Structure formats: structure tokens, C-alpha cells
Amino acid sequence: MQLLRSGISLRIHAIFISHVHGDHLFGLFGLLSTFGMMGRKDKLTIYAPAQLQDILNDHLKYFGEGMTFPLAVHAINTEAPEQIYENDDITVHTIPLKHRIPTSGFLFREKMPLRNLHSRLIAKYNLPPQAMVKLKNGENITLPNGDILENETVTYLPYYPRSYAYCSDTLFSEQVIEQVKNVDLLYHEATFLTDKMEVAHQTMHSTAAEAATVAREANVKHLLIGHFSSRYKCDELFLQEAQPVFPHTAIAKELATFEIPLIPLKPT
């Protein structure tokens, strides 16, 4: 329902599920039915901890009749980071998390863009098309006179590839810090405030201050926090606790969009 409200296209071919607790999973059942109702034909792959396969098998015993498309579960390793997905634009790696059941975050990285050529240099060397392709791919080329043209002297990166890390649900984890270093945007759960630190640790969740500490130590650009316990009546309390630790913190509100701007780089 939220996906339909969001206006995001339903032409989804991969779904990433962190763990098989209901609040992270139950929306999948309706989505699969909706895909069936729409007569979807394209394969759908769900990247999730191995437990999902049994759950889906049982679900499809009762609700599999209308499945018009191939469905695959890719069981992820929740103990060590690994690349689980790649397409022309991005890669996805797992981020092992520490929760009551096997849980994994996901690190989405844009691939390095092709390099841009300094136009004045292209004119200077009168380069053939094959040489330009090599340069865009970051390679050096050999000129007709045998000189090596160093890539960096004639090309530049048009923009830095962007990155987003999704970490829910988890205890505070040093390994997460290592893995999300310098990302543009980090979503990190903040189920509790420091006043409920003990409950947070018992239930294997984080406080807002801990989420902000991960963001600060990992030197990320922006932090989104969410998954707030309903025992707190006001979301702003979480911001109040996180921002003194990490100022660039915002609340992940339902259906809100947080855009990571693509920053063009000038040739040097």
C-alpha cells in the first residue's frame, strides 16, 4: 500500500530484506499478490536471510495460485560482508548486523562513472574513437610516437559515485562503522533513547545516541534514523538526542524522500 502511495514504479526486480521479523516482512505478502494480480511475468529475486525460504514456501502453499512470475530467494550470509547484487549502475553488499535473529544491512554503491575527457586535449592529440573509449574507462593509451598518455592528465571524474547504507535492526556495532565509512547517507535504526539503554541492549536495538555515534565515527555525510519504539510519543526526542552527537541527522518519515544530490566535479 505504501509503495503504491509513494508513486514508485512497481517494476521492481530485486527486494532486499534484512531479517524475518514481521515489521520488516509482512508487506511482502501483499506485494506478491499485487504482482500476481497485475499479471507480472518478470522474475523477482528476494535477497534475505535463509529463513525466508521456508516462510515463503509455506505462504505459497496457500497463496501461490496467482503467482504469474518466477520468484527466487537468494539466501544471504549474515555473518560476513559479501557482494550479493550488481547491475550496470550499482552494487549491493551485505552489512552483518547484531540482532536477535540473523540480520543483515545493505550497502548500495553507485559504480564509478566513465571518466570525462578534457576537450582541449582531445583536439590537441587528435585521438581516434577507440582511444577515447579506453580513456573514458580509465586506461592509459600509447600515442603513435610511442609516448604514454597518462589517463589522469587528459580525463576527470564527472561526479563521485553515491552510496547508501541501510542498517536495521541492530545493536551498536564497530564492524558496521568500518563498513559504512564515508557513505553519503546512512539509515541506522534508533529504537530507543538512552533512558532505555538496558531495554535497547536486551532486545538488541540501538539508541539514538548510538546511531549518531556510528554516523560520526564512520564520517558519513547524512544520517537518517527511524524504527522508533511506540512507547515514545514524539519523534523529535530522537533528533534531540542524536543531533548533539551528529548534527546532520534527520528522521526517516513514512513516504518521505531523501535525495542524495549528484555533485558534478569540475575538470582540474
Q: State the cell numbers at 97.
A: 548486523
Q: Which is nearer to a second copy, 11 or 61 (CB)?
A: 61
- Dihedral angle computed from the Cα positions of residues 124, 128, 131 and 132, in that order, rounded to the nearest 10 degrees: 70
Q: State the cell numbers at 130.
A: 577507440
* Least CB distance to a second copy at residue 37 (A): 8
Q: State the cell numbers at 58.
A: 509455506
Catalytic position from the list 23, 89, 147, 195: 23
Q: Which is nearer to a second copy, 64 or 264 (CB)?
A: 64
DSSP 151-208: HHHHEE-SBPPPEEEEE-S----HHHHHHTTT-SEEEEE--B-GGGHHHHHHTT--BH
Beginning with the edge strand found earlier in the chain, give each strand of the sheet holding 14-16 in spatial order. 14-16, 44-49, 71-76
Residues 72, 2, 110, CA angle at the centre, nearest 5°? 60
Q: Which is nearer to a second copy, 170 or 191 (CB)?
A: 191
Are the CB atoms for 222 and 199 separated by under 8 Å? no
* Least CB distance to a second copy at residue 236 (A): 20
Which residues contact a second copy (rule: CB under 8 A)? 1, 20, 22-23, 26, 29-30, 33, 37, 51, 54-55, 58-59, 61-63, 230
Q: Which is nearer to a second copy, 51 or 116 (CB)?
A: 51
* Least CB distance to a second copy at residue 1 (A): 7
Catalytic residue flag (residue 235) = no
* Least CB distance to a second copy at residue 84 (A): 23
Q: Which is nearer to a second copy, 60 or 132 (CB)?
A: 60
* Least CB distance to a second copy at residue 58 (A): 4
Dihedral sign, Cα of residue 225, residue 230, residue 236, residue 237: negative
Give the CA distances from residue 223 to residues 106, 143, 164, 208, 252, in Å, rounded to whole numbers and listed in that order.
Answer: 15, 47, 10, 11, 9
**Alpha carbon distance 204, 194 (integer Å):** 14
Q: Which residues pair with 192 in a beta bridge?
A: 207
Residues classed as catalytic: 23
